[in-house]
């Protein structure tokens, strides 16, 4: 076992996906997306590197470390937007999944079809 894994803290994550609440544990050394997949909770994702925003969610409570979230401007991170593929929990979390469109609109304005 590595020193990092032995030092990891486990937090409780509660995430709302399509009006259904899912709860699962997430270690401080794993992303929320990885923990969700491990628990059988399938969430939207694509690049898994913090760029595309497919996995965007909104923090209702708690905090994450997401320094690799290039797809989210700093002010929107402060407003609770997070990319689950690069979000490591720093506390228990309550999240709302499926926020890609809301994040896009907040960053770039209304999408024109």
Domain count, the chain: 1
pLDDT bin (cut points 50, 70, 90) of residue 1 is: very low
DSSP state of 113: -
Q: Is residue 103 part of a domain?
A: yes
Q: Is residue 44 part of a domain?
A: yes
CATH number at residue 13: 3.10.20.30
Written as six digits, the tokens of 8 are 């990891």
Whether the pLDDT of residue 3 is over 60: the answer is no
Q: Is residue 27 part of a domain?
A: yes
Q: Which run of H or E residues covers position 78? A: helix 74-78
CA distance 91 to 110: 33
Q: Is residue 113 part of a domain?
A: no
Q: Is residue 82 part of a domain?
A: yes
Q: Is residue 14 part of a domain?
A: yes
- The predicted-structure confidence for 70-104, as pLDDT tens digits, reads as follows 889 999 999 999 999 999 999 999 999 999 999 99
Question: pTM of the entire structure?
Answer: 0.88
CA-to-CA dists, residue 80 to 2, 62, 95, angstroms: 31, 9, 9
Q: Specify burial of residue 42 (Cβ count, 10 A radius: 0-12, 13-18, 19+).
A: exposed
Q: Is residue 97 part of a domain?
A: yes
Q: Residue 19: which domain range?
A: 3-108
CA distance 70 to 37: 22
Query: What is the maximum span of the chain, computed from C-alpha positions, in angstroms?
Result: 51
pLDDT bin (cut points 50, 70, 90) of residue 7 is: confident
What percent of the chain shows pLDDT beyond 90? 81
Q: Are 63 and 90 in contact (CB under 8 A)?
A: yes
């Amino acid at each position: 076992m590595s020193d990092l894994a032995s030092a990891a803290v486990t937090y409780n994550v509660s995430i709302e996906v399509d009006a259904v609440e899912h709860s699962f544990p997430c270690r401080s050394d794993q992303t929320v997306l990885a923990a969700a997949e491990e628990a059988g909770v399938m969430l939207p994702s694509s690049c898994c590197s913090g760029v595309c925003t497919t996995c965007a969610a909104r923090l209702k409570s708690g905090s994450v470390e997401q320094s690799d979230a290039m797809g989210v401007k700093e002010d929107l991170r402060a407003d609770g937007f997070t990319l689950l593929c690069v979000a490591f929990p720093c506390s228990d979390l309550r999240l709302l999944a499926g926020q890609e469109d809301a994040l896009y609109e907040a960053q770039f304005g209304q999408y024109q079809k």
